[in-house]
A and B are shown apart, each in its own frame.
Chain A
Amino acid sequence: MTDDLLPPWLNDDSDDSDDNDLPDWLQNADDDSPQSPKKSGVTGELSWMQDDSPSNDNPSKKGRASTGLTGELSWNQAETPDFLQDMSPDDSATMGYDDNQADDDDDALPDWLSASDDADDDDNSGLPAWLDDDALEESERLVQQSFTMTDEMSVVDFLDEEDDEESEELPSWLTDESPTTSQSNVFAGAVDTSTWGNFEGSDEPTNEESLTDAFTDDSWISDTETPDLEEDFSDLFTQSSPTSDFNRSDLPTTGMLFGDDDFSNEVDEGSFDLLGTPNDIDSLLGGDDFDLLGELNDDGDDAQAFDLFGELAEPQTPIANELANDDDFMSNFGDDDLFDEDIDIDALLGEEDPFRQFDTNTVSEEAEDDLSWLEDISNVPFQDTRPEPLFKPETRAKLSQNLPQSQPEPELDIENYLASLDDMSLSSITGDVDFESADLDFETLFDDNREEMGMSGLSPDAPSWLTDLTAVTAGENSAAAILSGQKDRPAEDLPDRLKALRERGFDVQSHPKTDAEVLSALMPVSGVMLSDTADSAIATVALTAGQVQRAELLRTIVGNALEANEADEKTRRPRRLPIERLFITAILLVAVLAPFFLDNLRIGAPPPNQFVVGSRQDAFYRLMDTIPAGVHILIAAEYGAMSAGELDIATESVVRHVLANGGIPVIISSNAVGLVRVDNLMDTIAAQNRLVANVDYVVVRYLVTDVVGLRDFSENLSSYLAFDVDGNRTRLAIDDLNDFARVVIITESADNLRLWGEQVLPLMTQPFLAITSYSAAPLSEPYLSIRAGAYLSGYGDSYTYQTMVNRLLTGGEVIIPTLPPTVEIIIPTTEVPVVIPIDADSTAEITEISPIVTESVVDTTPDAITATPDSAIVTTEAPTATLTAMPSATPTATFTPTPSPTPIVARFAIITAATPINIRPDPSTTNPPAGVLRPEERALIINQVTGVDGQQWYNITFVNNAGETVIGWVREDLIQIEETVLTPTPTPSMTPSSKQMRMIMRVGIPQKGQESTPEITPEATPSAEATLEAEITPQVTVTAVVVPTLPAVTSIVVDIPMPDTDRLIAPMDVTDRQARWDSMALGILVAVIVIGVGNLFNLVRVIFRKRRR
């Protein structure tokens, strides 16, 4: 705000204890006094009545203060003050203060007034000097003198006249007791300064203490220019004009007093320093330092007998004198139009009737002089902040008389008011009340002609509170000014929803309703009232067409009972077929359906059959593929039925992969539907593979509540894992998250993934894996890249993972990932520092490894194993590497009753061509061949698609002569398909399983120069004995690939996938998987085209629309 413009003693920031900021005549004020300047800013203005000990050397300040107060209060209250009623000449001597009243309530009096009654006569310290007994006596004496100013003596002369002698008296116009002075006009064109005071005398001061001296002594004004007072009340009305230049224009005009445009302009320009704060209406009306209204409205202070208006009524100030003698001014107050100008004085003063003190007859009688400079008073742009009264006072009184008196006083709300209307009989009053002349002016409710009210800059539809604020707001930094400065957006920039609402508004305007409908909507009274009381108050209301339209719009927006009728009309309206929507749907549907019927509709290549080495997907597969047998894998299926179409394939692949590796999946979910789905899925897999619930897999209980439940789960694992989804005990003895070899999160939501990462991940050291849907990927990937590093996203990754898992399940074909050209491969020449992933089951340390080794491993085919628990893995390898592998696995032996084997159908492709054929890297002949197969050679079929040429292409894999595994595509006309039913030999599930043995073998692969001393201490005692020894000499190139995204493994040791598994898990059904992928690709393409064309269409439409306008 503009505190800087305030006088220091009015500034909020000024130190209260710093009396130096105060004018001298205020510094002695009693802080405890309710009129203390430290409690009320108005006290400054009123201090001439309140100050206990005003400075004797500045009596003129009091007069000056009075001047400022007059202007200020007149401006604030904007009505005829009491001085028009309290014109008693007798009161002027006491400044409107009643001595009797003061006697009755001395406590409420200013100290100096109360003291004047009780204190010793000699003790006049509390009185202003000009009220000192001596001075009063002297003034009484002097007042008797006939003092008349000369006609030539203007008020300026009066004000300018120098007298170096310090006067303790008031200006003489303050001491004037003559009632006739109220008739005088000081500032009229030819100012008769003699009317300033009904006193006569010479210009020469006859007595130093004479009040008549004060009249001719302008030192009370010039004193205001002293440094300590220059920010005092002299600044209230003039900021820069020196008092010596005081003239009529320096005084506040009536426009200033009542807020006309001139005044507003001055306020805006800061040239008019009302109270020293030109733009600070808060400090003027509601500031801490200025509580004028509080002062005026304080009922308890009534007895202070500070009759402000009575004081002002006396022609002791030029302004009051002017106002009191201006009949135009008074007539304006008496004009009813002025009431219609909505002077909201009651909002300012809190009075019911702001004009209760206004007596126009008295004014008209007393105000006889014509002041032309007040003619513009009728243009005062006041804004009524009150709603227009519905009835005139007499009508209201009549209505009140008809109300049941026995009823308790209802609360003043609209409901009770309307209820009271229902209870009373309007017919009893309609005969007496002239409703036609009642203030049933709905126009004011819908009046949008705010410009005439001085509300320039506001929209006609601006709310009333905004216009009200604007009316009383000064400056441009207020909220009202900011809001009023806002420009409406063009209709084109509106959101579609608002556009629709706007158009609907126009539609409503084009179909205006009848008055009765609108009235019934606005005022839900009974139909009887509306129909029977044709001459009721409501019936007399006449609405214009614009009002009806607005009311209809309002009713349409908020909805009410009439909506039902419109709803009926709408139901009868024929429903418009959404042509655009159907057209787009048809196009999309055709695009999605076509690939299922047409093999040639293929957009792009299918997902790869294997992940790129070093990628996050590849890391995921490897971490899953290196699961030790017999360990538990925690799988969180955090998705529901909606995402099942995308994530079920991943869940099934993970579960089968874990089962194939001998792991035990432990499945949990905080999604009840997802848990049910996974339970059903596991039932299917278990039935297919002869698995036993809670033995080979566990679907544990529902994980309730997100954050708290997850935290509880991570802290109290055993209690959560104690029961399965059906409430049966699981017998899981896991009480630590690290007992899980892996934690896999399959989720449709990034939030779920974040919760798991926040609650579970910090408590575990095992690899944290994730599979997300497409929709969750953008928000999940940043998180996973930091915390996990190995994850799959969307259906495409799941597709590839399923292919790889299926390949494993259908025979475990060896896959040596092809190296992408973009991946930097580090092939060590001599020594490679390899870090073996440390899992829960083995601790191995390899100190030296050669990139190329020749090894011999023991073939431990499941059906050939007759292993004993302490069966040692016989290694016949010559390389002597220093290897110490100490598997610490202590799996419990689990014997499963001999299951009936599930037959597996394997398809092989036999080359029927007469010459060697090329094996393509993709189902086309475009790219160079990936390998060659000779006639009669066989390859395992792992997938089948329809190529772009319309022929079936089979994805096959085989090992070439170089021992490399080749994966490629072959066309259907070059092969013959042979199906072989593989019936695995039923073997009991035992521990250590062959998978674990395989792991042991991997660890125990003796490297060149190493010495293998594996230690296996299984607790189980299966009746099996490993007696087979096979010596193979694979040429394995061990490469260490830098995988920057792997979180737990700094480098990867490429293992040789073992082709054998002891637990045969059936592969997944991949029927129409390729067609589904093609359907997705084509659907995406069509969706992109539709979106693009739609946007282009809208753009063109907008352009044409703007051109039309």
Chain B
Amino acid sequence: MDDIGLIIGFVFTLMIFSYLLGDNFLYRLAVYVFVGFTAGFIAIITVESVIVPWFDTTLFSGDTPRIGLGFIPIVIALLLLFKTTQRLGRLGNYGMALIIGVGTAIALVSAIVGTIIPFVLETADTSTNTLPNAIILFVGVACSLVYFQYSARQKPTGEIVRARPIQLLSFVGQGFIVVTLGAMYAAAILTSLTIFTDRVQYLLAPILGG
């Protein structure tokens, strides 16, 4: 069985690599299979580890409060199903409102408490950084933020320009952003090569006897 899996993996890896020659049937077939399997995995795992246990602990628990509690998500889920119809689609808005509202609230509060405030404090904190690092950190953050401000005035000629100080800070911020994006791009190449070598190793293992 392992050998079969190895061979199938070998073949599909080559099919994916065939994209180097351009979009072709083999590549698309491999992608379709991958997407299909992924969807299947998600469905199975969701049913097995989420839905069925949830039914067991609520509706089939025999505990009346739990059963009642279990109906609430079911009702909301059924309302979401109405989104597929044009006439009754507005009923699904209640479910969507709950999901989006709760999700947004959680994300917003957590982002403020968990990310923004710590980052601001870290940026302003010079005790954990040396002075040059603190300066670079502060300048980088401030100038990058300035780069994304869009207030400007319009000249009589119609040209829209920003004030000179803002232009200067924006230029510096642009430099930081370029460095950041460059680092991200380089990191993406590293990851790609890592994955690629892993696949190459996988492909060469049968040949080299590893």
Contacts and interface: CB of A to CB of B under 8 A. Distances in A.
Contacts of B198: 644-646, 1076
B197 to A, nearest CB: 4
Interface residues of B, number: 55
Interface stretch (B81-89, B104-112, B144-152, B169-177): B104-112
A476 B41 contact: no
B197 A702 contact: no
B22 interface: yes
B208 A477 contact: no
A581 interface: yes
Contact of A596 (B114, B196, B201): B201
Given A477-B154, A581-B20, A758 B115 contact: yes
A711 B110 contact: yes
Contacts of A477: 154, 156, 158
B191 A646 contact: yes
Given A722-B53, A1080-B193, A707 B107 contact: yes
A726 B46 CA distance: 10
A672 B41 contact: yes
Given A726-B48, A778-B180, A582 B196 contact: no
B118 interface: yes
Q: Which of A675, A761, A774, A1072 has the most CB of B within 10 A?
A: A774
B50 A702 contact: yes
B152 to A, nearest CB: 12
A578 B22 CA distance: 8
Interface in B154-210: 154, 156-158, 160, 180, 183-184, 187-191, 193-201, 204-205, 208, 210
A369 to B, nearest CB: 44
Contacts of A778: 180, 183-184, 187
Interface stretch (A614-622, A779-787, A829-837): A779-787
A672 B114 contact: no
Given A774-B187, A777-B187, A758 B111 contact: yes
Contact of B158 (A485, A645, A707): A485
Interface in A707-754: 707-708, 711, 719, 722-727, 748, 754
Nearest to B205: A1072
A1071 interface: yes
Contact of B38 (A476, A672, A707): A672
Interface string B14-43: 000000111000000000001000100110
B195 A642 contact: yes
Interface centre among B48, B110, B156 (most CB of A within 10 A): B110
A930 interface: no
A645 B196 CA distance: 8
A1076 B193 CA distance: 10
A673 B44 CA distance: 11
A243 interface: no
A774 B110 contact: no
A645 B193 contact: no
Contact of A794 (B99, B115, B190, B208): B190
B6 interface: no
Contact of B50 (A704, A707, A754, A757): A704
A645 B187 contact: no
A705 B118 CA distance: 25
A381 B154 CA distance: 29
A463 interface: no
A814 interface: no
Contacts of A758: 110-111, 113-115
Contacts of B48: 725-727
B52 interface: yes
Most buried by A among B20, B106, B197: B197
Given A482-B158, A582-B20, A757-B114, A702 B46 contact: yes
Contacts of B197: 592, 645, 1076, 1079-1080, 1083
A701 B204 contact: no
Contacts of A29: none
A727 B204 CA distance: 37
B195 A643 contact: yes
Given A777-B187, A1080-B194, A722 B57 contact: yes
A281 interface: no
B53 A1075 contact: no
A724 to B, nearest CB: 7
Contact of A701 (B41, B53, B184, B208): B53
A754 B112 CA distance: 12
B115 A754 contact: yes
A1084 B190 contact: yes
Contacts of B128: 1044
Contact of B53 (A476, A581, A727, A1076): A727
Contact of A761 (B22, B53, B102, B114): B114
Contacts of A700: 49
A795 interface: yes
B106 A585 contact: no
A582 B191 contact: no
B210 A1071 contact: yes
B159 to A, nearest CB: 8
Nearest to A1044: B128
A1092 B189 CA distance: 14
Contact of B195 (A596, A645, A676): A645
A593 B204 contact: yes
Given A481-B158, A711-B110, A777-B187, A727 B200 contact: no
Interface in A577-599: 578, 581-582, 585, 592-593, 596-597
Interface in A675-710: 675-676, 700-702, 704-705, 707-708
Given A759-B110, A1076-B198, A719 B57 contact: yes
Contacts of B210: 1071-1072
B60 interface: no
Contacts of A1079: 197, 200-201
Contacts of B160: 482
Given A725-B45, A725-B48, A774-B190, A476 B201 contact: no
Contacts of B21: 578, 582
Given A676-B41, A727-B53, A476 B122 contact: no
Q: Which of A481, A754, A1044, A1083 has the most CB of B within 10 A?
A: A1083
A967 B114 CA distance: 42
A685 to B, nearest CB: 16
B182 to A, nearest CB: 9
A1080 B208 CA distance: 18
B191 A643 contact: yes
Contacts of A1071: 210
A585 B46 contact: no
Contacts of A581: 20
Nearest to A1073: B201
A544 interface: no
A1 B156 CA distance: 13
A787 B57 CA distance: 36
B71 interface: no
A775 interface: yes
Interface string A485-521: 1000000000000000000000000000000000000
27 contacts: A476-B157, A481-B158, A582-B21, A593-B204, A643-B195, A645-B194, A646-B194, A672-B42, A675-B45, A676-B41, A704-B46, A723-B49, A726-B49, A758-B111, A758-B114, A762-B114, A773-B191, A775-B184, A775-B187, A779-B184, A783-B115, A786-B119, A786-B122, A794-B187, A794-B191, A1072-B205, A1087-B193
Given A481-B158, A757-B115, 7 more contacts: A593-B200, A593-B204, A673-B38, A723-B53, A762-B110, A794-B187, A1079-B197
- A-B pairs, top 8 by smallest CB distance, nearest first, are A645-B198, A758-B114, A701-B49, A758-B110, A774-B190, A775-B191, A672-B42, A645-B195
